[in-house]
Structure 1
């Protein structure tokens, strides 16, 4: 009877220490997403078309 009580006591003590720290959620660092900027000629397209329009208008007079 003492052996069963000793085994039960050891089992209960070892089972309670398994949860001693509690649960903590893992910390996951998010990797930054770098968006590549595309080289667009849209900013220069309107002034060039305006310059061509002025040149055509000036040459027709």
Structure 2
């Protein structure tokens, strides 16, 4: 009787270990994002507008 209980317990453990089967790991390729720059003057536009607004604010006060 003990051997039968041991065999039943081992079969439950063994079947539970392989219940899902083997699943190959998936390889995810990295996504490369390329952004185009609008122009080379983009870096000077914001400071130029800020200076213009500062001069206008000082001129009107």
Q: TM-score, normalised by structure 1?
A: 0.44
